[in-house]
Amino acid sequence: MSKLLLQGNQAIVAAAERAGLGFFAGYPITPASEILLELIGGRKRIKVLQMEDEIASINAIIGASLAGRKAMTATSGPGFSLMQESIGLAHMMEVPLVIVDVQRVGPSTGMPTFPAQGDVMQTKFGSHGDYCPIVFYPNSVEELYRHTFSAFNAAEESSSPVILLSDSYIGHLYETVELKKYEVVERSKLPLGLGKRHFTGLTHRSHARPITSDPDVHRELIERYKKKCDDVAEKYNLYEYIKNDSADTLLVSYGALSRAAYNFKDEYSLFRPIRMFPIIKDLHKIANKYKTIIIMEMNLGQYRNQMESVIHKHVELIPLLGGRIDLKEIADKLAAIKKKKKKTQTSKKSKAVTAAR
């Protein structure tokens, strides 16, 4: 089994090829461009098109997938925003495909070469209407390789778009990767033009003609989509939990930032979701073991809001914006939260003593 020194973006390509990728369409954008460039470099089994923009890219891979090819695109924040309407269409038509989003600082053009985690909410709520995306976010080059397989397999099993999140730190990081062979789920449905499927973005019964005036049909459709994606997601119950028996605080992080969190494992318990959405059910049980929950994010609390709705507890936030991950800054912010908690507890005790008198 071969080992190679690969960049994160290169690892995605290596895994996608082994997972059966047949068609890629994309538009160059920092920090995801290496994925397109690597694919152009002579992989005969994969057809590659550089499109005029990201809207064309997402629609091209929808068409390729419907025609029977495993399909993928790769982009960053601005391009991911442009894809949202067609992502909703792909969910409605039950089209399996993979979208790689190598995040950078935004909004707008922002800081193209610096990492961020500003697209987390967009992965779940970017398109209009209700749908249930499956989203993975590795934290190493080896995990990018491994979970590219997860993304392709989950897409085939759920017949839906699956998002593989990365960021410019991990995407441009070089690490040694063992090119293991993971299970590959093959395409099961017949391509467009064969069988009796009806493809539409309108409300419909399963693969049947549109029905746009019956709320019960729409409710049944969305419930079926949700159950299907939830059932598939449970096969990928991926997370890392490092328990510290002496800690009363759980420190949550993900992606590149979780690599910095390992430096604090002697003081805190650590939790890292790899499957970002649907949120890991075990998180509720794990979080209830701790007095304090802290999350570090390279945004203003996008995942914290989702966590709080699941664990029903307040979550302290350490936002790290602008693409800088500094261990001293993290340590200072953690110390400030601990100091604030201690001050609050002392104040509560004083009030209780006063009330007793």
- Give 132-146 pLDDT, tens digit per residue: 999 999 999 999 999
**pLDDT at position 107, please?**
96
| N-term to C-term CA, the chain | 73
CATH fold of 240-356: Rossmann fold (3.40.50)
Listed range (84-98, 101-115, 198-212) with the worst mean pLDDT: 198-212
Q: Predicted confidence band at 350 (pLDDT cuts at 50, 70, 90)?
A: low
pLDDT of residue 346: 66
- The model's confidence at residue 186, banded by pLDDT at 50, 70 and 90, is very high
- How far is Cα 237 from Cα 149, in angstroms, rounded to an integer? 14
Q: Is the pLDDT of residue 288 over 80?
A: yes
At residue 217, does pLDDT exceed 90? yes
Res 175 pLDDT > 60? yes
Among 3.50.50.60, 1.10.760.10, 3.40.50.970, 3.40.50.280, what is the CATH number of 3-236?
3.40.50.970
Of all residues in the chain, the percent with pLDDT exceeding 90 is: 89
- The residue-averaged pLDDT of 10-19 equals 97
- Mind listing the pLDDT tens digit for each residue in 315-337? 999 999 999 999 999 999 999 99
Residue, of 1 and 128, whose pLDDT is higher: 128
Q: Do domains 3-236 and 240-356 have the same CATH topology?
A: yes
Where do the domains of the chain lie? 3-236, 240-356
Compute the average pLDDT of residues 205-214.
87
> Residue 207: pLDDT above 80?
no
Could you tell me whether strands 269-273 and 275-277 are parallel, antiparallel, or unpaired per DSSP bridges? unpaired
- Average pLDDT of span 90-100: 97
pLDDT tops 80 at residue 285: yes
Q: Is the pLDDT of residue 23 over 60?
A: yes
Mean pLDDT of the chain: 95
**Concatenated DSSP letters for 153-179?**
HHHHHHTSEEEEEEEHHHHH-EEEEE-
Above 90 in pLDDT, residue 86?
A: yes
Cα diameter, the chain? 82
Q: How large is the average pLDDT for residues 37-58?
A: 93
Q: What is the mean pLDDT of residues 20-41?
A: 96
Least reliable range by pLDDT among 2-6, 183-187, 197-201: 197-201
Rounded Cα–Cα distance for residues 223 and 246 (Å): 43
For residue 318, the surrounding DSSP H or E stretch is strand 316-319
pLDDT at 352: 59
Mean pLDDT, rounded, for 297-309: 97
Residue 198: predicted pLDDT: 84
- Range from 11-15, 136-140, 175-179, 187-191 carrying the lowest mean pLDDT: 187-191
Q: Which two tokens stand for residue 307?
A: 């966590």
The pTM for the full model equals 0.95
> Can you list the alpha helix ranges (DSSP code H) found in the chain?
8-18, 33-40, 54-66, 77-82, 84-93, 120-125, 141-158, 168-172, 215-233, 256-261, 282-287, 302-311, 327-356
Average pLDDT on 113-118 reads 97
Q: What is the mean pLDDT of residues 96-118?
A: 97
Residue among 118, 145, 143, 147 nearest 135 (CA)? 147
pLDDT band (50, 70, 90) for residue 355: low
